[in-house]
A and B are shown apart, each in its own frame.
Chain A
Amino acid sequence: MGMTATEKILAYNSGRKYVEPGEIVEVKIDLALANDITAPLSIEEFEKIGARGVFDPEKIVFVLDHFTPNKDIPAAENCRKIKEFAKKYGIRHVYDGGLCGIEHALLPEKGLVMPGDVIIGADSHTCTYGALGAFATGVGSTDLTFGMITGYLWFKVPETIKFECYGKWKKWVTGKDLILHVIGMIGVDGALYSAMEFTGDAIHQLSMDSRFTISNMTVEAGAKNGIFFVDDVTLRYVGENSKRGFKIFVSDPDATYKEKIEIDVSKIGLKVACPHLPSNVKDVEELSDVAIDQVVIGSCTNGRLEDLRIAAEIMKGKKVREGIRCIIIPATPKIYLDALKRGYIETFLEAGCVVSPPTCGPCLGGHMGVLAKGERAIATTNRNFIGRMGHPESEVYLSGPSVAAASAIAGRIAHPEEVL
C-alpha cells in the first residue's frame, strides 16, 4: 500500500518502513522553534522540572518577533529571559533587534528548514514550512519543552486531503486567494486533524512566496500540516539559501486519501474573508461599499518580497486615501533591504504609507497598528476573529496584497483594476 508524503516523513523519522493514519508514532525532530510569547512558558516549564540541557542547541531557534521591538516592560522582560536562557544552554539561533524577522519568513530564508525535515514550533503558523516539502506543525509550549529536551515528540499520523489544482491563474490572483477559496469551501474545521496536500500543474506555476502563504493558512482550516512536493521552484529556493543536504518525499500514486478535491484555478478571482472567520469568504467585487480605516500589508502570511512587489506596483505614483493608515511590514531584514533596493519602500513612503520594522505587531493586536472601537481594517494577515487586531468591536477583512493595496488608495475595499 502506498503512502502520502506526510506519512512517509513521519515513517522515516520514527524508524518505520510504513505508517498509516491513526497510528501514534514517536518522531525525531529536526528543529524546535519558539517566539517571545511562547518561549517564556517553555522556559518556565524547563526550569520547573529541572531539565539539565537541550537535545541539540543547534536545532533550537528563538525568534523574538511578536511584541518586538519591545512594546512594554513585561515584553522586554520576556525577551531578556529568553536571551539569558539561550546563552546558558549554548543556543545561538536567537533572532532579535536588527536580526529579527517574522519567524515563518525568516527560517526558510536562513536555510534552517529544509525539505523532508520535521519541524515543531510553538506557534500555530509553523505549518508554513510545508511549502518546502517538510512536515511542520504548531504545538504548545509544553510539547515544545518536551521536544527541546528529548529531540522527539509523539504524533498521531494524520489522514491526508489532496487538493489537485489545475488551470491558468488569473491576473492578480495569488496563493492567498487559493487558500481563502479553499477555507471558504471546507470551513475553519474542514481539515481538522488532517494533512492538506497541494499538487497539480497550477501549483508548479506558483512562486515559493505564494506556496508559503498557502501552507501558512492551512491551520485556519484546522489542519495539522500543509504540504507541497519539491519541484524546480523549491530546489532553486533551497539552493539559494542553504548548503545542507535534504530528503525529498513524494506521495505514491496508490496512496490513500481521506478526500480528493479538484480545483480549477482559472475560476478563482480575488477573495476576501469577512469578519469574524477566515471561512467567511466573498469575491472582492461583492464588497466594494465597505469603507476602511486601516490597511496592513505584512505578516507571516503575506509580508514577503512578492507581496511587496505587487503592492508597490499598484501604489506607484498614487496616494493613500486621506484618513487611512496604511502600514507596510516587510517580514524580514533581507526582504526589507531587497524592497528598498528595488524602490518599493520609496513608492510606499511617497504614497503616504507607514513602513514598519519586521514584527507580527498588528496582526494579533499586539502593537504598531491596533484598532479602536468601531474601526475596520483590511489586512494581508491570517485571522479575523473578534478583537484580533484590537478593540472587540473592531473588524478585520483578510485579502491578498493587491486588494489591500488597492483598498488603501480607494479608502474602501477595492479591486486593483479600479485604481489603476
Chain B
Amino acid sequence: MKFRGRVFKFGDNIDTDVIIPARYLVHTDPKILASHCMEPIDAEFPKKVREGDIIVAGSNFGCGSSREHAPLAILGLGIPLVIAKSFARIFYRNAFNKGLILIESDLCNYVEEGEEIEVDVAEGIIRRRGETFNTKPIPPFMIELVKSGGLLNYLKMRIDRGGSK
C-alpha cells in the first residue's frame, strides 16, 4: 500500500476541537465535516488540500475528545494518512477504525510544507528528495482493516458468517 502526496505541516498537540470544532458535531457527513477541518487555526485548509495530500505533525496529534468526526473530517478531505511524532490514544483507535492510516515518525523535523513525499506503509518507508526514513511497518491485518473500510466491516464479516449477533 503506497501513497504519494503533498505535505501539510502542523505542530504539537493538535486537538480534536481544532480538527473539527464541536459546533459542527451535529453533522455526520464527512464532506460537511471536511469543509470545517482545522478551521480554528487555518480556515483556508480545506480549500488548499487535494485528494491524496498528507498531514505531517508533531507529538500528541488528536488529543482531546473521542469524537470520530475528527478522523472523518480528515478522510472527507481525501487525506489517507497522518504522520506524527505521536498520537493521542482514543484518536489512534478511531482513525484505524475509520480507515485513516497513522504512522509514528519525527518526519516533521525534516520535511517542508508543500513538498511531495512517498510512503510505503507495509514496508514502513518514507521517501523525500532522495532521503529515506524508516518507520514501523503497519501490520498486514491493519492494512486489511483499512482496505475493508474499517472495524465494522470486519464485524459485518463475522455477522455474515453467523459468528456473532
Residues of A within 8 A of B (CB): 37-38, 40-41, 44-45, 48-53, 55, 66-67, 72, 74-75, 78, 121-124, 126, 138-143, 145-146, 149-150, 188-189, 192-193, 219, 222-224, 277, 364-366, 383, 385-388, 392
* Residues in B neighbouring A38, C-beta threshold 8 A: 66-68
Output the residue of A40, A74, A124, A219 with the most chain B CB within 10 A: A124
The smallest beta-carbon distance between B149 and chain A, in angstroms, is 10
Contact with A along B95-107 (1 / 0, CB 8 A): 0011000000000
Closest to A387 in B: B40
Give Cα A385–Cα B39 distance, bound, in whole angstroms: 13
Give Cα A252–Cα B26 distance, bound, in whole angstroms: 45
Closest to A126 in B: B66
* Residues in A neighbouring B67, C-beta threshold 8 A: 37-38, 140
B132 within 8 A of A: no
The answer to whether B90 and A392 touch across the interface, beta carbons within 8 angstroms, is: no
The answer to whether A48 and B15 touch across the interface, beta carbons within 8 angstroms, is: no
Contact with A along B20-33 (1 / 0, CB 8 A): 01110111100000
* Residues in B neighbouring A145, C-beta threshold 8 A: 152, 155
* Given A50-B159, A392-B40, CB of A142 within 8 Å of CB of B152: yes
B93 within 8 A of A: yes
Give Cα A51–Cα B163 distance, bound, in whole angstroms: 12
Q: A41-B69, A141-B94, A364-B17 are in contact. List 15 more A-B contacts (CB 8 A).
A: A52-B165, A66-B22, A67-B25, A122-B66, A139-B66, A140-B97, A142-B98, A143-B94, A150-B164, A189-B60, A365-B21, A365-B22, A386-B18, A387-B17, A387-B21
The answer to whether A49 and B164 touch across the interface, beta carbons within 8 angstroms, is: no
* Residues in A neighbouring B89, C-beta threshold 8 A: 192-193, 222-224
Instruction: Out of A37, A49, A388, name the residue touching B155 (CB < 8 Å).
Output: A49
Closest to B96 in A: A142
What's the dominant secondary structure at chain A's contact region?
loop
The answer to whether A146 and B155 touch across the interface, beta carbons within 8 angstroms, is: yes
Residues of B within 8 A of A (CB): 13, 15, 17-18, 21-23, 25-28, 39-41, 59-60, 63-69, 86, 88-90, 93-94, 97-98, 150-153, 155-156, 159, 164-165
Give Cα A224–Cα B92 distance, bound, in whole angstroms: 12
The answer to whether B22 and A146 touch across the interface, beta carbons within 8 angstroms, is: no
* Residues in B neighbouring A41, C-beta threshold 8 A: 28, 68-69
Task: Offer 24 A-B interface pairs, CB within 8 angstroms, sorted by A.
Answer: A38-B67, A40-B28, A41-B68, A49-B159, A50-B156, A53-B165, A55-B165, A121-B66, A123-B65, A139-B66, A140-B66, A140-B68, A140-B94, A142-B150, A146-B151, A189-B60, A192-B88, A222-B89, A365-B17, A366-B22, A383-B17, A387-B40, A392-B39, A392-B40
* Residues in A neighbouring B23, C-beta threshold 8 A: 365-366
* Residues in A neighbouring B40, C-beta threshold 8 A: 386-387, 392
Give Cα A219–Cα B102 distance, bound, in whole angstroms: 20
The smallest beta-carbon distance between A179 and chain B, in angstroms, is 16
The answer to whether A142 and B68 touch across the interface, beta carbons within 8 angstroms, is: yes
The answer to whether B26 and A143 touch across the interface, beta carbons within 8 angstroms, is: no
Give Cα A352–Cα B34 distance, bound, in whole angstroms: 41
